[in-house]
Amino acid sequence: MREYVEDFLETYKKYQTKENYVLGFSYGAVITLLSANIINPKKIYLCSLSPDFREDVSAMTPWMRKYVGKRRISQNLKTSGRETAKNLKVPSVVFYGELEAKHYPQIEIRCKETARLAVHSKLVVIGESPHQIDFPTYQKTIIRELSGL
């Protein structure tokens, strides 16, 4: 994940403007959260924040541990989701779908905890939406949230 954050920071530097907003989905939301205090955008949008932190490793099933891999789990153990959220200085909106929470309960836990611990954060639960950012309800909810810009 550290390499992904570094790649994102390089890309961000190329395209940043005076007023920036960052939206990330799933692992992209993890990258957004981990880089937010470095790039200091006006606001971040964390869509279906992946449970990719120290606190989440114990909840991983054997299948998920194999899928994620030893290197990523090793990195996860080095980063606290709670501390990252507590130290977040950038306003945030955290989204997750009710349907995805049924399939991936740790996403719901990570999203709720992040929104609760982060200063200036808002939690948005999307009714009957799966882990799919192009799902119509998910898109409508994001658009509605962004319309306030």
Residue 57 lies in a domain: no
The CATH number covering residue 32 comes to: 3.40.50.1820
- Alpha-helix residue ranges (DSSP H) falling in the chain: 2-15, 27-39, 54-57, 62-68, 70-76, 81-86, 98-103, 105-117, 136-146
Q: What's the CA gap between 91 and 18, in Å, rounded?
A: 17
Mean per-residue pLDDT, 37-60: 95
Residue 13 contacts residue 21 (beta carbons within 8 Å)? no
- Domain that residue 88 falls in: 2-6+28-52+82-146
Residue 111 lies in a domain: yes
pLDDT(1) > 80: no
Domain count of the fold of the chain: 1
Instruction: Give the rounded distance of the alpha carbon of 104 from its chain centre.
Output: 14
Residue 20 lies in a domain: no
Q: What is the mean pLDDT of the chain?
A: 94
Residue 17 lies in a domain: no
Write out pLDDT tens, residues 71-117: 888 888 889 999 999 999 999 999 999 999 999 999 999 999 999 99
Residue 94 contacts residue 114 (beta carbons within 8 Å)? yes
Residue 43 lies in a domain: yes
- pLDDT for position 72: 83
Q: Which amino acid is at 128?
A: E
- pLDDT for position 104: 93
